[in-house]
Amino acid sequence: MKKELDLRFSKLLARANLWCPVRKEMLLNIFGYVSAILMINMKIINYQDVEAKRVEEGAKNMTIRWLITKEMGAENFAMRYIEVNPGGSSPLHSHCWEHEIFTLEGEGVMANGQEEKRITKGDFIFVPPNEAHQCRNTGQTTIRLLCMIPYTQTQ
């Protein structure tokens, strides 16, 4: 986004030179202020710098990293990086919020207690609120997932 802003701003500055030096100076000040605001709040963190915690509560061979949270200023959604090792699984569970999941690597199944659907690298999954769900690794490598959940008043 910053590169796009820089490009647009340089085009704007080129036009401002034709107008008048005062406008150019004013634009420089505004752009500097806007850039500072954009960069102050943005967070760029490598996922490996976030602690991987073992998932308990019925899970097997599974870790989770809370990448984006309320504590860093996210008001609407949390982003989690989940690893399910071969033979591992989440418990079959449900709750009042939805999940948006993207499969980065690995293969396994998503189950709802009545049926199972195969998942593999590149698949995305939408789990509606209150639907039972479970992820099981049936492959030979670790399943790596990005999972987004909304913050709700009941969480």
At 9 the pLDDT is 53
At 43 the pLDDT is 87
At 4 the pLDDT is 59
At 147 the pLDDT is 96
Domain boundaries, position 118: 47-150
| Overall domain count for the chain | 2
CATH number, domain containing residue 114: 2.60.120.10
Residue 101 lies in a domain: yes
Which residues in the chain land under pLDDT 70? 1-40, 153-155
Say yes or no: 130 and 57 in one domain. yes
Beta carbons of 139 and 108 less than 8 angstroms apart: yes
At 17 the pLDDT is 56
At 151 the pLDDT is 86
